[in-house]
A and B are shown apart, each in its own frame.
Chain A
Amino acid sequence: MYNTISIKGLSVSYERKRVLTNIFLELEQGKICGVIGPNGAGKSTLFKAILGLIDINVGTILINGQSIDTQRKTVVYVPQKNEVDWDFPATVFDIVLMGRYPHKKVFSRINDTDKEIALEALEEVGIAHLQERQIGELSGGQQQRVFLARALCQRADIFLLDEPFVGVDVTTEEKIIQILRKLASQNKTLLVVHHDLSNVPSYFDTVVLLNQRLIAFGDTLSTFTEENIAKTYGGQLPILHKTGMIE
């Protein structure tokens, strides 16, 4: 089994509050999978659990049949843009080079090969000319490209992207989806948290509909149905009624 994520019976809670309940998922290689659900549905928590950043209460997550700790190099995470200190004294190239860190032993240095790989990644996302720019001097789209370049530079097999299309221009959005498709065609596995329901069918091969529980998972065509979307999003309304948050 290569480039797979296998989640069995996953439950996560923060301070007594259940965030994810009994999730089963088998993700295959070569597919772009969208993770869709309302705010608070546990999308980010699912990512954190896969990345081994949080303790899970129940269940197992296996990457290529093994625990995440042995698979760090093969899994790459592209975070949301707004979680970053853009004033940090670092250039585009510095950030992209970070993608090489997991491949380096403690005492080994960044060498010319690493720099070549980083440059290649920058060229692929189309911002090689900005490599010496401080990261705060970029547009939203360019900042997202930097993170994507870093992910490419890591040469990973499994990509987790959190809202990569938020706050980017149309050209960048096209570029990103084009690169994701190319990665999928190279049998990589891609998991993308996404907000905009309108382009789900054109972007994703498979979808995970999530709202604390797994509502549905499968091919976009058969799974991304009105009924399932209503179950994912509409389910919140009765709860809000009860707590009196809406009239």
Chain B
Amino acid sequence: MGEIIEIFQTQEWAMRALIASSQVGIMCGVLGCFIVLRNMALIGDALAHAILPGVVFAFILVGYNSLAFFTGSVLAGLFTVIGITWIQHNVKTKNDAAIGIVFTAMFAIGVIGISWISRSEGVHLDLKDFLFGNVLGIKNQDLYLISGVLIYVLLSIIVFYRYLFATTFQPVIAETMGISVKFVHYFLMLLLSFAVVASLQTVGVILVVAMLITPAATALLLSDKLNWVLVISGTIGFFSAVLGLLLAIMFETPPGPAMTLTATAFYLLAALLAPKKGLIFRFFRKRKQEQKVQLEDTLKQSLKLHELGTLSFQNLLTRLGYTKAQLTKHLNTLQTRGLLERNNKQFKLSTLGIDEAQQLVRAHRLWETYLVEKIGLTGEQIHEDAEKYEHLLTEELLDEVDASLGYPSIDPHGSPIPSKKGLPSFPLSHLAVTQTATIASKQVNEQISSRLWQLGLLPNMTISILKKEETTIQLQANDQRINISSTLARQINIMPTK
């Protein structure tokens, strides 16, 4: 490390290289976000190659001069973009083919030009510098140019952020708002050619596209807000360039590839570790979901065995097909949540556990009913689908399904659909016209009990349904006719008459 610091203290070229690289990193990082979001990676690559003839013509006209190279390159870049866009709009050639045709032609012209002029004596224009950059040969004049371009690019993005945002997200809407999508496109292309030209000496034609794409793609994994994506991408671009340069000096490798690989390393890190979008996070989320499904299946099968009176560890094991360790783990979780009670090796579901399990059965059977009634599937096709969806459907959605089916009481296989948690097991609404039943002494809550008392419906009173309409139910109790809403009817617990 000490050696490196000494190099930067004593060698001016090293300092110039560092300043140039860091600025290029920021510039490409920020601008690259728009390139990536607009699916224009190929255009970035194309522009980089296509500016070669601009450099060559500038050299022929003016000689070795950074500003002349810059002007020539930007003109060549714009010529390329206009050529590509013209073909895309007027000739029946596919978009990416149009890009390929134009930039390779431009590059070819440039290569021929270079081989021409390098025949004369004392010419310092090397194709290799153009292809791979020559960051260690950067002059002060180049530095001023790069700084100027960086400031121009950043200011443009800040000032025209709204236009860039709108045209990138929804070009049609931007157009209806009076923003010229075409103008913004060309403006962005101008900025891109600036950035590409300014980056050539640091990373070269071949790798400049890496500085544009990789930090931007990394930032897009890390944030969901465009302004943050721009900041993060610029920061990653900065560190890729600086670290890459340091590594290049330390290990005596070419700087361009070192910067590219540093950016790639950042990308891989983000792809693995990013919150929400990273592979590791997604792996754990998937695993968590699988665990939840297994736990819920354990609970549901426990209920089935509980109803058969044969709830035991061994029976659960055969039904579920998990390993002993897995099942033990799930049973422990159920116990800590108070859904399962255990006494030595004997265990049984708690009241809470039965309630919870019944909600799963409700989800399963409601979904099966929905598939048959609304989608028109047959009995054999529905079970597996319901096995999956019983774990995914939210309570809100289930209520909507329940309502759209008219609160069914049995599923397509003829099994009863349990009521929603907190609702009676035999609600009054399930009673058909002319059937009789008695009001249960136990209601789901105090409010319902007192409401019943107000209506004159007392426990153990025999009632029968006279009429059922969409919103009201008319019933006979003793000699009285009472109208109640169907919402209330769903909350009243009844007992079948013996």
Contacts and interface: CB of A to CB of B under 8 A. Distances in A.
Nearest to B39: A85
15 contacts: A72-B176, A79-B170, A84-B169, A88-B37, A89-B225, A89-B229, A90-B224, A90-B225, A98-B166, A98-B170, A101-B166, A101-B179, A104-B162, A106-B160, A134-B224
A44 to B, nearest CB: 11
Contacts of B177: 72, 98, 101-102
Contacts of A85: 169
Interface in A67-101: 69, 72-73, 75-77, 79, 83-85, 88-91, 94-95, 98, 101
Nearest to A47: B176
A130 to B, nearest CB: 13
A53 B223 contact: no
Given A51-B176, A88-B37, A98-B169, 13 more contacts: A53-B172, A69-B178, A73-B178, A77-B172, A84-B169, A88-B168, A88-B226, A89-B224, A90-B225, A91-B225, A106-B160, A110-B162, A169-B400
Contacts of A101: 162, 166, 177, 179
B173 interface: yes
Contacts of A69: 178
- Listed residue (A69, A79, A98, A134) with the most chain B CB atoms within 10 angstroms of its CB: A98
6 smallest CB-CB distances across A and B, nearest first, come from: A72-B178, A134-B224, A102-B177, A77-B176, A89-B226, A51-B176
Nearest to A171: B400
Q: Say whether chain B's binding surface is mostly helix, strand, loop, or mixed.
A: helix
Interface of B: 37, 159-160, 162, 165-166, 168-170, 172-173, 175-179, 220, 223-226, 228-229, 400
Nearest to A71: B178
Contacts of B224: 89-91, 134
Contacts of A52: 176
Interface string A97-134: 01001101011001000000000000000000000001
A83 B170 CA distance: 8
B487 to A, nearest CB: 18
Contacts of B228: 89
A107 B159 contact: yes
B438 to A, nearest CB: 37
Given A94-B225, A94-B226, A101-B179, A83 B166 contact: no
Contacts of A91: 224-225
B176 A75 contact: yes
Contacts of B165: 90, 94, 98
Nearest to B170: A84
Contact of A53 (B168, B176, B226, B400): B176
Nearest to B403: A170
B37 A77 contact: no
Given A53-B172, A88-B169, A90-B169, A102 B226 contact: no
Contacts of A95: 169
B214 to A, nearest CB: 17
Interface string A168-212: 010000000000000000000000000000000000000000000
Of B166, B176, B223, B225, chain A has the most CB atoms within 10 Å of the CB of: B176
Contacts of A76: 176
A174 to B, nearest CB: 13
B225 to A, nearest CB: 6
A89 B220 contact: yes
